[in-house]
């Protein structure tokens, strides 16, 4: 992977001047490369990873839903998936191998919101054969970042 992507993947907010110093490339080259990545959809979005457990005010719920679906002629799973992932409540949508087909992540303000999404929007779809909802209890690690407990590296401040 290109160095610029490697750096942005860990810190999307790094100033352009720092990128310049780190990669040895000129501002123009870097700006052009980033624009290209954005255009090609390689860089999709810049976002912050937020540890919502620490936000006292936020008491929303997250649910993972396993969905079994019937593929449609010619378009397979894609058309059904699209029908489902277009709901704004769906944060993530993956097609998986194994005992079910789609894995969704749903965020709602409480259990009832999620339950009504499943019963009123998802389950009635004719190609949905079944859904199993798991409510998330705790997040330990997200996007490669450990949320619960940081590893410490307590080096002596000066050594040869």
Partner 1 sequence: MIAKHIKNLPPSGIRQFFDLVLGMPDVISLGVGEPDFITPWRAREKAITALEEGMTTYTSNKGLFVLRKSITNFLEKRHNLEYDPEEEILITVGVSEGLDLIVRSIVERGDKVIVVSPHFVAYPALVEIVGGQVLYLKTRQEDNFKIDLKELKRLMKENPKAIIFNNPSNPTGTAYNTEELKKIWKVISSKDTLVISDEVYDELIYEGRTTSFAALDEEAKRRTILLNGFSKAYAMTGFRIGFACANKDIISAMTKIHSFAMMCAPILSQVAATEALRAQKEVAQMRSEYKRRRDFIVKELNRVGLVTPKPQGAFYCFPSIENFKISSLDFAKRLLFEEKVALVPGSAFGKEYDSYVRISYANTLDNLKEAIIRIERFLSKL
97 versus 153: smaller Cβ distance to partner 1: 153
Q: Which residue in the set 2, 9, 12, 21 belongs to the binding site for partner 1 (CB under 8 A)?
A: 21
What is the pattern of x (binds partner 1, CB under 8 A) and - over residues 122-141?
--------------------
Q: Which residue in the set 5, 12, 16, 22 belongs to the binding site for partner 1 (CB under 8 A)?
A: 22
Q: CA–CA separation, 79 vs 96, rounded Å?
A: 15
Query: Can you read off the two tokens belonging to residue 24?
Result: 């040895």
Contact 101, 132 (CB under 8 A): no
Angle separating helix axes 3-10 and 16-23, nearest 10 degrees:
130
6 versus 53: smaller Cβ distance to partner 1: 6
Q: Is 158 one of the binding residues for partner 1 (CB under 8 A)?
A: yes
Closest to 64 (Cα-Cα) out of 142, 141, 135, 9: 135
Q: Which residue in the set 44, 48, 49, 157 belongs to the binding site for partner 1 (CB under 8 A)?
A: 157
């Amino acid at each position: 992977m290109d160095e610029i992507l490697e750096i942005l993947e860990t810190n999307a907010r790094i100033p352009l001047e720092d990128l310049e110093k780190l990669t040895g490339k000129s501002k123009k080259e870097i700006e052009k490369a980033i624009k290209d990545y954005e255009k090609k959809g390689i860089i999709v979005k810049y976002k912050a990873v937020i540890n919502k457990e620490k936000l006292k005010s936020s008491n929303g719920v997250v649910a993972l839903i396993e969905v079994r679906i019937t593929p449609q002629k010619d378009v397979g799973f894609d058309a059904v998936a699209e029908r489902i992932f277009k709901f704004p409540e769906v944060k993530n949508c993956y097609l998986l191998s194994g005992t079910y087909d789609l894995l969704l992540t749903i965020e709602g303000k409480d259990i009832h919101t999620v339950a009504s999404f499943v019963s009123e929007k998802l389950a009635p779809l004719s190609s949905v054969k079944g859904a199993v909802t798991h409510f998330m209890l705790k997040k330990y690690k997200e996007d490669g970042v450990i949320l619960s407990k940081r590893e410490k590296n307590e080096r002596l401040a000066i050594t040869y």
